[in-house]
Amino acid sequence: MTETVDNLLEPEVSETVDVVAGDDTSVVDEGDIAADYLEELLDLADLDGDIEITARAGRIYLAIEAEEPDALRTLSKPDTVAALQELTRLAVHARTGEFSRLILDIAGSRDARADELQRLVDRAVERIEAGAASAALPPMSSYERKLVHDLVGERGFTSESEGEGAERHTVIRRG
């Protein structure tokens, strides 16, 4: 029987991470377009934030950081980051005609979410070790499922994604 691991953990804000600009020209153009879009959004919301652009393996990573720890608290919630990431991808697509796979981090939200996913995997593994045949995690993005698959593999267990669309989730089983 599959046990469900509910979203019992509150998202937390972590320290911001310094990033440096990469040198792939077409990717940096994508990053500049995305940064311009996000700067306008921050201005409209009357929020202060610094945007750093990194290009790694052909993918843009944008990090928004602020000097005040709580300045970006509302924007750094996982659902908000995901929505802003999609809006930013659409803005880039509208300007370039190309699909964007950029990743957005606001006030260390990606690291905080990775820590939360680690705890979810730990709880799921505990349930399996206590006798459950498998444990299903809540639905999450493909990026988050990839992180979970990596974490599960490191623990010696197996995982696979199941479901469709917004209900796609990860199921963990003994290795």
Calpha distance 32→127 (Å, rounded): 45
Residue-wise pLDDT tens digits, 14-51: 223 333 444 444 665 999 999 999 999 999 999 999 99
Write out the two tokens for 39: 């700067």
Residue 18: phi and psi, rounded to 5, are -75, 140
Give the global pTM.
0.69
| pLDDT, tens only, 113-146 | 999 999 999 999 999 999 999 999 999 988 899 9
Beta pairing partners, 173: 134, 158
Residue 168: alpha-carbon gap to chain centroid: 15
